[in-house]
Amino acid sequence: MKNILFVASEAVPFIKTGGLADVAGSLPKCFNKDYYDVRVMIPKYMCMRQEWKDRLSYIDHFYMDYLGQSRYVGILMCEYEGVKFYFIDNEWYFNGSTLYGDWLYDLEKFSFFCNAALSALPVIGFRPDVIHCHDWQTGLIPVYLKDRFAGGEFFRGIKSVITIHNLKFQGVWDVATIKRLTGLSDYYFTPDKLEAYKNGNLLKGGIVYADAITTVSDTYAEEIKMPFYGENLDGLMRARANSLRGIVNGIDYDEFNPETDEYIAAHYNAQTFRKEKIKNKRALQKELGLAEDDKAMMIGIVSRLTDQKGFDLIQYVMDDLCHDAVQIVVLGTGEERYENMFRHFAWKYPDKVSANIYYSNPLSHKIYAACDAFLMPSLFEPCGLSQLMSLRYGTLPIVRETGGLKDTVQPYNEYEGTGTGFSFANYNAHEMLGTIRYAEKIYYDRRREWNKMIDRAMAQDFSWNASALKYQELYDWLIG
């Protein structure tokens, strides 16, 4: 039996702000339980929903020296879907109304968390063969395994993996502060270790000291070796290229299932979508006050409204798009100028554009099920989950060829009859508009081809099971 411990700052269903929580919470249950004992450790946040707090049982506690003080570390546990989740409790550090917010305070609390997580292992009697860390919040664990935890019998030989979900966030502050918070000696603060551009950098520490590095798609693993995507760590990513691999995230195929989805008006599958999928479009047009027109091509957008997601491109051609025979449904919040841009077009073209400037899980499912196409023109996208959900619902993605979008959406080729969506290469508004109009042409003029593309899209497997097999290979390679 191989013991694996995921250490992360969030995990579904307990607490979530982004895709990291899906990986930490959904992936562990997909491993073969005959060979792998995979457990998860996260902080016990005060802002967790009460129903989850009520399910935690107390295991033990101890006191740990941190920043010259003796600090309480409580350990709680909850078994969920066959996976043991451990929670590190300290109300001083995890009492906020949000998970993240104040950078300096976040650096201190996650430095504490990394210390506490490792110190808790002998107490719970679980010795992992591999500790799988996620993002900068757990970047100190690979460093500590080679430093203060290296001496004892218990920790000897434990391997570490770090997964980079988004290289943009690194845990950076001045060297003196990082040195104080981590308790690491001067030895670690040189340009080949935790120092980067005169600052201390927690993610860099994890990348330097981990035994293996993964990121959330093959293309993103290549992109981050280049300056444009490398966020000032591209040199390090090139240096560690032999230890770096991309493994695409999955989605929960039980939650995102057009045959059983509780939020959608009509259920369908790959056999019945030609008759049933349209009922979802009718229901959504009615609900959102759009023109009730079966034939209108409906394009969905579910996203944070930020530059990273390509909304400057959309803004540039939005007026042109609104003159086409399409309807556009937007769901999300973000930068004020994009929120107001969509509100403006929804006011100007009320039967064509629906701007839903908030977040709603039920509405997101309805959009995936009702729309014909899904637009995602990101500047960079480590993995992306929305395009996987739209493929699952037979809603064809229109994406820019970057990161996980390039790896998961095969562009339509009318000569070979292949593809699961549409894509464009350059970050250019008119190239995007041209691709959308090409998709419109296929939708209106070559409907049989469109439906065959839906067949191929719905046949894709981006479940967590596919990702789990690749992680199993990685763990086996590390443990040897």
Which pLDDT does position 331 carry in this prediction? 97
- Nearest Cα residue to 194 out of 243, 136, 120: 136
pLDDT tens by residue, 278-291 = 999 999 999 999 99
Indicate the domain borders of the chain.
2-250+465-479, 273-460
How far, in Å, CA of 463 to CA of 249, rounded? Answer: 8
At 387 the pLDDT is: 97
C-alpha 242/C-alpha 245 separation (Å) is 8
Residue 15 makes CB contacts below 8 A (sequence gap 6+) with 21, 42, 45, 47, 48, 52, 99
Q: Is 87 helix (H, G, I), strand (E, B) or coil?
A: strand
CB contact set of 465 (below 8 Å; sequence gap of 6+): 30, 250
Average pLDDT, the chain: 97
Residue 306 has pLDDT above 90, yes or no: yes
Residue 19 has pLDDT above 90, yes or no: no
SS3 452: helix
**CA-based max dimension of the chain:** 71
- Using alpha carbons, list the distances in angstroms from residue 440 to 64, 141, 387, 398, 421: 62, 50, 18, 11, 12
pLDDT single digits (tens) 373-414: 999 999 999 999 999 999 999 999 999 999 999 999 999 999
Tokens at residue 67, please? 């920043």
Residues 115-168: pLDDT tens digits?
A: 999 999 999 999 999 999 999 999 999 999 999 999 889 999 999 999 999 999
CATH architecture of 273-460: 3-Layer(aba) Sandwich (3.40)
Question: Which segment of 168-172, 243-247, 252-256, 272-276 scores lowest on mean pLDDT?
Answer: 252-256
Strand order in the sheet with 244-246: 57-66, 69-80, 83-89, 36-43, 2-7, 130-134, 159-164, 212-215, 244-246
Give the pLDDT confidence score for residue 151 in this predicted structure.
Answer: 83
Assigned fold of 2-250+465-479: Rossmann fold (3.40.50)
What tokens were used for 110? Answer: 């996650």
Report which of 409, 467, 387, 461 is spatially closest to residue 219, judged by C-alpha positions: 409
Helices (H), 27-163: 50-53, 103-124, 140-146
pLDDT 10s digits, 83-117: 999 999 999 999 989 999 899 999 999 999 999 99
CA atoms within 13 A on the CB side of 87: 27
pLDDT at residue number 395: 98
The amino acid occupying position 4 is: I
2-250+465-479 matches 273-460 in fold: yes
In order of 67, 126, 178, 330, the CA distances from 200 in angstroms are 17, 31, 6, 40
Q: Give the predicted TM-score (pTM) of the model.
A: 0.93
